[in-house]
Amino acid sequence: MAVTSIILNLVLLSITYSEGAKWTYKGPDGETNWSKNYPYCGGVFQSPIDFEPELLRYDHSLTQIELLHYNLSDKELLTLVNNGHSVQLSLPSRMSLSGLSHRYSAAQLHLHWGSQSLPAGSEHTINGKRFPAEMHVVHFNSDKYPNVSVAADRADGLAVLGVLIEVGRFNPAFDRFLTYIDGIKYKNQTVKIPAFNIRELLPDQLDEFYRYDGSLTTPPCYPSVLWTVFRTPISISHTQFLGLATTVYSSTVGDDSPVTLSGNYRRTQNPGDRTVLVNFQEGDGMQGVDTATSPLRRRQAIQKLLASSLAKATHKEAPQIQPRISHTLDSSKKWENWENKHILGQSTLKENLPKLKAGSLLLKLWNSRITGLSEESLCYSTVEKRTMLELKKAHLKNRLAEALREVVFPALNLGSYL
């Protein structure tokens, strides 16, 4: 019955998304109301976030991402489109990332930017500082999924590179596609452009970055993204920035009142109980050197619990499941929506999540996750803490695995954790 309920909810959610509910950045369909049609947007692990010093933890094991086949031939054509929310450039799937737990193939890149009057328009911020723009290069897990559409709502489906953009020097690489922006002034317009070396759009140095588990920054806001945001920004000229902020529209051709496409960024979200891993150290804000397990290894440990019996979770893997710092959860603490300050209570759970089976082994665990979040650990910290206690008590095998399926991952595709 529990599995049937989950499948039914997934079907209903997919119908909602396929109907393409309207969303905007401002007005009645703006981001404060996204969760009405897209429940994940009001959930946990949302992006973007502010990289404030208190969240950062140094992890010396983080290795630099390697970019494969980013140098495209100009004999190839790429599609540049105005999708009404951003300017998006299609990318061939032979472009990929190396250095993560899976092969992630490229799908597209797009931009977020401010306006002529309010130029700050990046989505991620560094210690409260918002940059004029931000570029996202979206990749999907091609080891497991055939395309980005299938991967989008899977737990390990996406890896996105985030590049912060400041206004300064002219950027010839950006002009390789900004030159064609007049051809996509209006929503749904597309133009074919010659391919080029996409690597030139990224910072010269890729060895310092922020890494965390998050979500899509636009509806449906699936919490399926492994984010890598480079510490070093790139630069574009003021003229190039204005080309984005003043040239394109979010409305279609012939609209009586065309709306300029600007300020297309989501505000920073509550980091909740997440920690941002970094591979650099600087200043007093780093809170010392940390040897926290990477999100990928911790996720793999949870996957093993779901995929097979607990007997396969060896003594070497058990510490990967355990939170780095043990906390006593404060039952009086409520997890709030960062923007609305709306307490996520029982009504929200009923609306957004499948019903939990009465008497489920980890029902209390789920309640504690909503009402008492640990502040010093990575994703799944509360779940992991309770799981560790269960591991020490006995090998509950299928009973614990089934409870994890029901409670921990109620609304994502279950197959992605197996």
Residues 6+ apart with CB under 8 A from 332: none
Angle at 216 between CA 85 and CA 156, to 5 degrees: 145
In the block, residue with structure tokens 């996105």:
160
Chain centre distance of CA 195: 27
Residues 6+ apart with CB under 8 A from 61: 294
CB 201 within 8 A of CB 177: no
What HEC string does 383-415 produce? Answer: HHHHHHHHHHHCCCCHHHHHHHHHHCCCCCCHH
Phi, psi angles (nearest 5°) of residue 133: -155, 170
85 is catalytic: yes
Omega of the bond prior to 220 within 30 degrees of 0, cis? Answer: yes
Count of positions (residues) in the chain: 418
Strand duo 50-51 + 158-167: pairing: unpaired
Name the maximum alpha-carbon separation found in the chain: 68
CB 306 within 8 A of CB 418: yes
**Distance from C-alpha of 165 to C-alpha of 130, rounded to nearest angstrom:** 10
Q: Please, what's the b/e burial string for 290-324 (b: 16 or more CB within 10 A of its CB; e: otherwise)?
A: bebbbbeebbbbbebbbeeebeebeeeeeebbbbb
From the candidates 85, 102, 136, 342, which is the catalytic residue? 85
Q: Write out the catalytic residue numbers.
A: 85
